[in-house]
Amino acid sequence: MLYHIFEYLEKHYNVGGAGLFQYISFRAGAAIITSLLISLLFGNRIIRSLKRLQVGETVRELGLAGQKEKEGTPTMGGFIILLATWVPCLLFARLDNIYIILMLVTTLWMTAIGFADDYIKVFKKDKDGLAGKFKIFGQVVLGIFVALVMIYHNDVVIRMPIDDAIAGGYQVIDRFTAEVTTIGQAKELVNMAYVKSTLTNIPFFKGNNFEYASLLSFLGDNALSLVWIIFIPIVIFIITAVSNAANLTDGIDGLATGVSAIIGATLGILAYVSGNTIIADYLNILYIPHSGELVIFAACFVGGCVGFLWYNSYPAKVFMGDTGSLTIGAIIATMAIILRKEFLIPILCGIFVVENLSVVLQVGYFKYTRKKYGEGRRIFKMAPLHHHFQKLGMHEARIVTRFWIVGIILAVLTIITLKVR
């Protein structure tokens, strides 16, 4: 909103300083500060309102240290993250940018799904919450929406040499409208084009690119037009998996919040390099026009997570509930898909992956051994993995700190993969 206002003022009235809003770095800095301030100024008020409405967490007895003290702690605190992400984004981002619109829709949609789940748990006193099939349905709808936008919206393009675009049979949207700052750059870009493609970055391989349509190569010339057959299910799977994995990770104070902030900051870096033609060319990754605007959203998201951590760190004054956990997972997944870095999710979101995998292994092994030996056996003392360490006697604050450290290492590894072939 402010971007458009100051753009108008600079254009028509030559207002001094208005040009600052043209810079992504300035708007990202202002956005993260605003996000933090919103969290800190309104967080306590939201928590008091939740207490007044008796929106307390019902904790099941799992035999974990400090579990009793958590009973009655306000939940649905994900609204703090929503407020601290949405408001600064509306203020500082370009609202005509398709990627920003997509992220705002994702945030609002998944917050609604998570809220419905929390509402049923808290007010309807149903500990199971929203039926799993309805949660999955909401995630599937979001996945279909994101995939269709990525495939068919004319603003969702990548840049490649015009000869490669023609040889690959891609739909050329525009030719040589990229940003030009020098004559040399103009000569270099004159043979470039913006094309519609499901091309994505893949780490560790020469060329660093993968085309989803190649999975349908047996269809011949129809592969590109029918790529939605494979692309939509993959997007649905990614969004559903990451969203649910974030939900599983949200089990002890500050864990999911801190890990998500680290992931969000990394995605902000990836958005910046993917939206900068010079850096993208240097790193040999896909240049995605207008994706640099996602730096603003990432700044808002990180600010919202860090601001929420002010109240969610041990001992937590509020829990995010499914209102927050399902949403942050969907945000991370959608941003990775937009930036065509979804193959980096197993590394970047390694904490989420391991937490989710620990549950799958625990349940699968328990069922297998019960069928084979007549009694169920366990790999971990308890799943998800963070509860296993609690059962070993480790304090949850130490568990969270160590998981954050691992999260930072994974984030650095993710950035390094940009140059590893």
Burial zone of 239 (CB within 10 Å; 0-12 exposed, 13-18 middle, 19+ buried): buried
In this prediction, residue 283 carries a pLDDT of: 86
Residue 172 has pLDDT above 90, yes or no: no
In this prediction, residue 59 carries a pLDDT of: 62
Instruction: Provide the mean pLDDT of the chain.
Output: 89
For the full predicted model, state whether its pTM sits above 0.85.
yes
Mean pLDDT of 30-41: 95
More reliable by pLDDT, 90 or 1: 90
Burial zone of 16 (CB within 10 Å; 0-12 exposed, 13-18 middle, 19+ buried): exposed
Mean pLDDT of 142-164: 92
Mean pLDDT of 223-252: 94
Residue 197 has pLDDT above 70, yes or no: yes
pLDDT tens by residue, 387-413: 999 999 999 999 999 999 999 999 999
Work out whether strand 158-161 and strand 199-201 pair parallel, antiparallel, or are unpaired. unpaired
Mean pLDDT of 311-329: 93
HSE-up of residue 228 (Cα within 13 Å, Cβ side)? 13
pLDDT tens by residue, 46-69: 999 988 887 766 666 566 765 666
pLDDT tens by residue, 322-332: 999 999 999 99
- DSSP labels for 191-227? TEEEEE--EEE-TTSTT-EEEGGGGGGGGGGGTTTTT
In this prediction, residue 161 carries a pLDDT of: 83
Give dist(CA 237, CA 51) in Å, integer. 36
Residue 134 has pLDDT above 80, yes or no: yes
Token pair of 354, please?
């391991």
Neighbour order of strands in the sheet with 158-161: 158-161, 192-196, 171-175
Query: If pLDDT is split at 50, 70 and 90, which confidence band does 71 have?
Result: confident
In this prediction, residue 180 carries a pLDDT of: 46
Query: If pLDDT is split at 50, 70 and 90, which confidence band does 107 have?
Result: very high
Residue 193 has pLDDT above 90, yes or no: no
Share of the chain residues as helix, strand and coil, in percent rounded to the nearest 5: 65, 5, 30
Amino acid identity, position 83: L
Percent of the chain residues topping a pLDDT of 70: 91
Residue 238 has pLDDT above 50, yes or no: yes
Mean pLDDT of 318-324: 93
Residue 277 has pLDDT above 50, yes or no: yes
CB 48: neighbour CB atoms within 10 A?
11
Query: If pLDDT is split at 50, 70 and 90, which confidence band does 2 have?
Result: confident
Residue 183 has pLDDT above 70, yes or no: no
Give dist(CA 109, CA 99) in Å, integer. 15
